[in-house]
Structure 1
Amino acid sequence: MVIVFDADKSIENGFNVVYEIAEHGLCAFNLLKNLKKNHKSLPIEDSFNKCARAYTPMEFEYYIRQLEQLSSSMRHELEAVGRHKWARASFRRKRYQVITTNISESMNSSLKEQRELPIYLADQHEFEVHHCKEQFVVNILNRACSCRQWDLDLIPCSHACIALSIRNLNLHLYTDKFYHVSNLINLYKKGTHSIDSVNQIRNTHQGGKDEILPPQVKSPVGRPKKKRFTSFLEKKATVRCNRGGKKGHNRRFCKEPI
């Protein structure tokens, strides 16, 4: 993308935020008007226009030397602006023959009546949500957000909630059915069927032993553990005596005098 506009600093600041990747081109007509303010008596218009529209660096150099003959500071002033912004020969992308913003004036005059027409959204499903100096793209149709919370948890994230509220849509309808009470009820709606005894079950085993037994394991020494083994990352709770108030033992093993 290439955007051509005048040297207004506010436009340039907004351009750098919204269109970071696009190329910035200066309007040659506005640049010429600024040059004329400093060189009112000099006939620079013809040489400048040819310099801005030159396709090759050699042709550009020829016309900028003509400007230097009119004023020795001309090259320095134009280089300070940034040659790649206004000179076609130094432009880093495709310029599409757009050197000035004069076409915008023609469009503004032809669109006077159309400006009063109502505005409708081009896309009813995709939104850009700004939050804490970050921006997120929400697609209601695909039930997705660039933060990926909606994609993974299947519950609308905060960005999706904003987009849904703008469209006056019900948040519950965009929550996955997994979380609905009706889904939990349906899971246990059917009863659990009873099974026959092991002796009455038909054996479908084709070979080997008919009887399937549990694996033979040796029971460890000591009382069986009832609690799971904790990870080394988990913090272990410290016992505190409710009689003496010290840590490391309970009331039963407290040695403090009564």
Structure 2
Amino acid sequence: MGISNGMKAIFHDATHGFYAYHLANNLKQHCRKRCDVINLYYCDTYAYLVEEFDRIMFEMKSIHSKVHGELVKVGIQKFSHVLYLRKRYHMMTTNIAESMNSYLLAIRKLPIASITEFIRDLLQRWFHGRRCNTRETPTF
């Protein structure tokens, strides 16, 4: 049984997404002299509004239709944060620093003891939730 078949059998709800980094590296190889295309790709990948994503994709199509076609072929929901089918790591990011920063924005002005307690509680809830999910996962 291959890895993808095993993943489908065990993790029924798992979705597959491409890493923006790997797609960007492919773009850099194929469009070495087109910084505008690579910059648009990054803007599109990290767009937070569907309207913004659509506008940037339209601009990408007008300046480099081949890259646009390849991105659509890959599946825009696999690399776009705004159109990804699920949340990544409980938030729309794969970077733990960004995840923590987004949670800590509201409490930054509290005393350090309160911030530390908030972080401890947050991590305990995350790890407990993942542990419970893991216990329910069938194994072979």
Mark the structure with the bigger radius of gyration. Answer: 1
The separation in 2 between residues aligned to 1:51 and 1:30, in whole angstroms, is 15
**Which residue number corresponds to residue 19 of structure 2?**
27
Inter-CA distance 98–13: structure 2 relative to 1 (3 Å threshold) = farther
Shift of residue 129, structure 1, vs aligned partner: 6.5
Aligned partner (choices 60, 63, 68) of residue 70 of structure 1: 63
Q: How high is the sequence identity, in percent, across the aligned residues?
A: 25
User: Larger helix proportion, structure 1 or 2?
Assistant: 2
Number of aligned pairs? 98
Structure 2 residue 73 is matched with structure 1 residue 86: no
Structure 2 residue 28 is matched with structure 1 residue 36: yes
- Matched residue type, 1:45: I
Structure 2 residue 93 is matched with structure 1 residue 98: yes
Inter-CA distance 11–30: structure 2 relative to 1 (3 Å threshold) = farther
Inter-CA distance 34–13: structure 2 relative to 1 (3 Å threshold) = farther
- Matched residue type, 2:65: S
When normalised by structure 1's length, the TM-score is 0.33
Inter-CA distance 129–20: structure 2 relative to 1 (3 Å threshold) = closer
For the 8 Å contact 1:26–1:85, the answer to whether it is kept is yes
The separation in 2 between residues aligned to 1:129 and 1:58, in whole angstroms, is 42
Cα RMSD, aligned residues only: 3.0
For the 8 Å contact 2:57–2:68, the answer to whether it is kept is yes
User: Larger strand proportion, structure 1 or 2?
Assistant: 1
Q: Deviations for 1:86-125, whole angstroms, at most 9, x for unmatched residues? A: 1122112223132579xxxxxxxxxxxxxxxxxxxx9xxx
Secondary structure at 2:93 match in 1: coil
Q: Deviations for 1:38-95, whole angstroms, at most 9, x for unmatched residues? A: 2222112221111011122210011122322331112210011111111122112223
Answer 1 or 2: higher relative contact order, Cα 8 Å, separation at least 6.
2
- Matched residue type, 1:37: Q
Secondary structure at 1:64 match in 2: helix
The separation in 2 between residues aligned to 1:59 and 1:72, in whole angstroms, is 18
Inter-CA distance 60–11: structure 2 relative to 1 (3 Å threshold) = farther
For the 8 Å contact 2:10–2:139, the answer to whether it is kept is no
For the 8 Å contact 1:53–1:99, the answer to whether it is kept is no
**Alignment gaps of 5+ in structure 2:** 97-130, 132-137
Shift of residue 14, structure 1, vs aligned partner: 4.7
**Alignment gaps of 5+ in structure 1:** 1-9, 102-121, 123-127, 131-258
- Matched residue type, 2:27: L
For the 8 Å contact 1:55–1:88, the answer to whether it is kept is yes
